């Protein structure tokens, strides 16, 4: 996990941000009618995908990787050439929103987040990290013990779209990938702004956690 600075020209960042905002704006203006079946099939059931489907494969977004020095940096790190990116995840998170699309619970300092504690007790403004490729639970985090619905919680796939199991025998729960490249496009001029968090060394910690788990299950 590392940080690369000043590799993407500012005008390309602004063009990508404009593409995202245009897609969200178009979705907002057509929200008075439901999506037609053929439209829904293109973007899936995830409401966030509906907002950003037009931007996720736009040249302005995929060229953040394909047409900047970031591509060479990734190829150098992996030791091989990579194919053109054809789409990207456009991650939207609106601050203190009662209409957070991935979690309909209004986000307040007392809201229980993914870590199982109130946001006010979690460092970095209540931010909860995760390891991509893992099932995240079938519902948003229960807010009280009385809210726990085990049948709903163990629903598959999880709220992040990842399936509970990565194989038909239900022995593997991690879906591997080679590399994740993130481009922060929103304001990050002060602590707590923006939609992209990076914890230096976090990947090493997760590797150690899984090694300890593997050793424990082999005993």
Query: The tokens 């591509």 sit on which residue?
Result: 71
pLDDT greater than 80 at residue 28? no
Q: What is the pLDDT of residue 80?
A: 94
Tokens of 71: 């591509």
167/197: higher pLDDT? 167
Q: How far apart are CA 181 and CA 72, in angstroms?
A: 12
- How much of the chain exceeds pLDDT 70, in percent? 75
Phi and psi based region of residue 149 (left: phi greater than 0; alpha: psi -120 to 50; beta: remaining): beta
Q: What is the pLDDT of residue 93?
A: 65
Q: What is the pLDDT of residue 159?
A: 76
Residue 92 near residue 48 (C-beta atoms within 8 A)? yes
Please name the helix (run of DSSP H) or strand (run of DSSP E) that holds residue 123, with its range, or none: helix 123-126
Q: What is the pLDDT of residue 59?
A: 92
Tens-digit pLDDT profile for residues 54-89: 788 899 999 999 999 999 999 999 999 999 999 888
pLDDT greater than 80 at residue 98? no
Which three-class secondary structure state does DSSP give residue 212? helix
User: Is the previous residue joined to 157 through a cis bond, with omega within 30 degrees of 0?
Assistant: yes
Radius of gyration of the chain (CA): 19
164/69: higher pLDDT? 69
Q: How far apart are CA 98 and CA 106, in angstroms?
A: 4
- The whole-model pTM stands at 0.65
Q: DSSP code of 95?
A: T
Residue 218 near residue 204 (C-beta atoms within 8 A)? no
Tens-digit pLDDT profile for residues 109-158: 888 887 788 888 888 777 776 677 788 888 888 888 888 888 888 888 88
What value, to the nearest 5°, has the Cα angle with vertex 122 and ends 175 and 96? 90
Which three-class secondary structure state does DSSP give residue 130? coil
Q: How far apart are CA 57 and CA 89, in angstroms?
A: 9
pLDDT greater than 50 at residue 100? no
Tens-digit pLDDT profile for residues 178-187: 888 989 887 7
- Taking residues 87-104, what's their average pLDDT? 59
């Amino acid at each position: 996990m590392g940080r690369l600075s000043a590799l993407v020209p500012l005008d390309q960042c602004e063009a990508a941000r404009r593409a995202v905002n245009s897609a969200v704006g178009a979705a907002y203006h057509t929200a008075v009618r439901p999506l037609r079946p053929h439209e829904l099939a293109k973007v899936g059931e995830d409401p966030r995908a509906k907002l950003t489907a037009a931007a996720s494969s736009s040249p302005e977004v995929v060229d953040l990787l394909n047409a900047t020095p970031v591509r060479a940096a990734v190829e150098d790190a992996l030791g091989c050439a990579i194919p053109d990116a054809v789409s990207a995840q456009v991650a939207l998170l609106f601050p203190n929103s009662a209409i957070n699309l991935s979690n309909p619970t209004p986000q307040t300092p007392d809201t229980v987040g993914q870590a199982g504690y109130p946001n006010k007790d979690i460092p970095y403004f209540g931010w909860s990290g995760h390891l991509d490729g893992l099932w995240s639970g079938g519902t948003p985090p229960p807010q009280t013990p009385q809210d726990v619905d085990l049948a709903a919680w163990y629903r598959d796939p999880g709220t992040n779209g990842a399936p509970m199991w990565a194989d038909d025998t239900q022995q593997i729960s991690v879906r591997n990938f080679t590399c994740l490249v993130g481009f922060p496009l929103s304001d990050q001029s002060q602590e707590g702004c923006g939609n992209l968090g990076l914890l230096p060394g976090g990947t090493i910690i997760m590797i150690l956690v899984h090694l300890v788990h593997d050793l424990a299950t082999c005993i």
